[in-house]
Structure 1
Amino acid sequence: MSQPTTTPPDAAPAEAAAAPGRELDRTQLVGVTIGITSDRRSEELIGTFTRRGAQVLHAPTMRIVPVTEDEELLAGTREALADPPDVLLVTTGIGLRAWVESADAAGLADDLVAALRPAYVVARGPKARGALRAAGLPERWTAATEQTAEAVQHLVDEGVEGRSVLVQMHGAAGVEELEPLVTAGARVRTVTPYHWREPRDPAAVDRLVDALVARSLDAVTFTAAPAAVALLDAAEARGLRDEVVAALAAGAPGAEGEDGVVACAVGDVTAAPLRAAGVEPLVPGRWRLGAMMRVLADHLEEHPRAAVTTPAGRLVVRARAALLDGTPLELAPGPLAVLARLAAAGGDVVPRARLLAALPSAAGDHAVDVAVARVRAVLPDGVVRTVVKRGYALRTG
């Protein structure tokens, strides 16, 4: 899916974003538009947000490619059988599952699990731990931060000199992360059951970049660090990285302004490339997909681009829509941008020059009058007032 949609998938997953005992609010995100960059589990994200009334722009910036029939992976499996490791470090659940599936295709899955079982097994995080237990390989230790660096340091502290350490790498990992093991005297081997590759639909990624530059999204989600890197790289390739970073930075929690795009990352590992670029994303306290969806939905509900109470009701402005007491107003992007500035002012006068700045750069001064007229046309009489020689304002109260 690369276009906004309000239709959930046919086989909707369990409502992961509904907290226990909390009824699903199907109007919570009406008027909201969210960009989704993930390849895996995207249907779960799309279903959760659309069931709450949001529109979605789905643009996977990377895709996971399993290497089930890869000769190098099979060779790594055979090496593990011939020379079982003393230590096994598993970095991702999907990676371990893909490795076991690859071994199973070669008739070696049972032998592989048996060869790995005596090892001192370390998991990078809960997902890796769950996959290990499902495979019959109980872990001895799990990294609390879900970062490879912590797992590596734990092994160094435990002592690995002269020991054989086998590391299941994930698609974006670099062997430099394992240098401390080598320095500590370990014999390090790696297997990589999947890789990150270019997106299936580059045009969808371009549309996502364009939407970020135009700030016509309320939020964009990231569930893997490579997806964040790939989005920034795609923007860089078009000379738009600064504009994308500015849009996301303006949407950071606590940032001032009414037109930023909220970046939401599933955890600190995923957030790292964004932070390195100067963007502080919204991150749930618990680094899980369901927690991310809950925290983003609640944040967007509580922090619209602009909101003000008028004599006609509560006016809320989103990236692509405005609602009066929950009823969507039909407005083109230009008048919507003008309404956003009026609403953000909370009843104060907004100068014509500031309203003009919200319109396309080619717009002339008369365009402000046209946009305001269209805003007036969708609101009850008297909500928009003219302040002679100063500008326009909304009546509040």
Structure 2
Amino acid sequence: MAKGLNGKRIAIGGSRKIDEISTLIEKQGGIPVVRSLQGTVFLAEKEVEPDLKAFVETGADWVIFTTGIGTETLVNVAEKLGICGRFLQAIRRAKAASRGYKTIAALKKLGITPEASDEDGTTGGLIRALEPYDLTGQRVMVQLHGENAPSLMKFLEEKGASVCPILPYRHIAPKEETVALLCREIASREVDAVCFTTAVQVRSLFNYAREKGVAEDIVKAFGESVLAAAVGKVTAEALKEEGVERLLAPELERMGAMIVELSRHYS
């Protein structure tokens, strides 16, 4: 019986669970092509300390949390520095906003109910929730997770806020030759689809493509014959921000569901 991905070359942009995704692709008859667009993530404890101390000293009018794990990590780092009580006080004095259900759960544990939160787990949803508020001259602390959420930062700056980002996690960039190779394969239609499992992977690809002046070629390839597959809403949103309209994202935000959806698409 023919399988949905028969003979299709599927590029994998992730750096985790590679064997697992490769097996899923092979079971559907596809050929997995590993092109990791994401270096390792590390806890930037030393780098985040001055930002955390500055926030505790000066406070903020708004605090925005974008990931559950990042929220918990900031609490843990504040604890190690012996300023956890003051950190929580500074958050409670401010208006809080959050993105994603895991972030709401992390804030709930701290007894904090966000004033504004998204309805769909995306940065766009968070921006829509913040739209009605006057942020002119407001100090806003933003917890980010290894990438700069350009659309959120731009929105806050356009609203007249003074933004202080805190990144408890940092990403080591992927190997340049890997990104260059995938760019060539997409532009020359040597891969049939690319699976993205985080927004960071999308940024890595497009930042490199812009730097080399080939971003338009990449968008064109995705619009015509190479299919972009996103594991979930946040990753899909990053692709749309880069101009990729033709993409596939499963209802269930899981890697297995993404491969099944891909197979169904080609069937």
CA RMSD between the two structures: 3.6
Equivalent residue, structure 2, for 1:271: 239
Q: Which of residues 116, 131, 143 in structure 1 aligns to 2:118?
A: 143
Using the alignment, how far apart are the partners of 1:247 and 1:222 within structure 2?
16
Using the alignment, how far apart are the partners of 1:160 and 1:244 within structure 2?
36
Cα shift at 1:83: 4.0
- Asked which structure has the greater RCO (Cα within 8 Å, sep 6+), the reply is 2
The answer to whether 1:113 aligns with 2:88 is: yes
Aligned ranges 1:217-232 → 2 under 5 Å = 217-232=191-206
The answer to whether 1:294 aligns with 2:257 is: yes
Distance 1:177 1:238, change over 3 A: closer
Equivalent residue, structure 1, for 2:70: 95
Query: Which whole-Å deviations, capped at 9, do the CAs of 1:331-379 have from their partners, x for residues lacking one?
Result: xxxxxxxxxxxxxxxxxxxxxxxxxxxxxxxxxxxxxxxxxxxxxxxxx
> Per residue, is there more helix in 1 or in 2?
2
Distance 1:159 1:228, change over 3 A: closer
Equivalent residue, structure 2, for 1:129: 104
Query: Percent of aligned pairs with the same residue?
Result: 23
Aligned amino acid, residue 33 of structure 2: L
Cα shift at 1:294: 1.4
Aligned amino acid, residue 156 of structure 2: L
Distance 1:240 1:77, change over 3 A: closer
Cα shift at 1:160: 5.1
3-state DSSP of counterpart to 2:50 = helix
Aligned ranges 1:364-379 → 2 under 5 Å = none
Aligned ranges 1:32-51 → 2 under 5 Å = 32-39=8-15, 42-43=16-17, 46-51=19-24
Cα shift at 1:35: 1.4
Q: 2:68·2:103 contact (CA, 8 Å) conserved in 1?
A: yes
Equivalent residue, structure 2, for 1:303: 266
Stretches of structure 1 that go unaligned for 5 or more consecutive residues are: 1-26, 251-259, 305-397
Q: 1:113·1:136 contact (CA, 8 Å) conserved in 2?
A: no
Cα shift at 1:180: 4.4
Using the alignment, how far apart are the partners of 1:130 and 1:46 within structure 2?
31
Distance 1:123 1:241, change over 3 A: closer
Q: 1:34·1:56 contact (CA, 8 Å) conserved in 2?
A: yes
Equivalent residue, structure 2, for 1:176: 154
Aligned amino acid, residue 271 of structure 1: L
Distance 1:56 1:99, change over 3 A: farther
Cα shift at 1:142: 1.6
Aligned amino acid, residue 231 of structure 1: L
3-state DSSP of counterpart to 1:76 = helix
3-state DSSP of counterpart to 2:239 = helix
Query: Which whole-Å deviations, capped at 9, do the CAs of 1:130-161 have from their partners, x for residues lacking one?
Result: 44345554434321244546535544524556
The TM-score normalised by the length of structure 1 is 0.53
Aligned amino acid, residue 206 of structure 1: A
Equivalent residue, structure 1, for 2:246: 280
Equivalent residue, structure 1, for 2:55: 80
Stretches of structure 2 that go unaligned for 5 or more consecutive residues are: none
The TM-score normalised by the length of structure 2 is 0.73
Distance 1:123 1:55, change over 3 A: same
Aligned amino acid, residue 240 of structure 2: A
Equivalent residue, structure 2, for 1:206: 180
Aligned length: 255
Query: Which whole-Å deviations, capped at 9, do the CAs of 1:42-80 have from their partners, x for residues lacking one?
Result: 31x65145145254323232434542111xx32232233
Using the alignment, how far apart are the partners of 1:237 and 1:163 within structure 2?
34
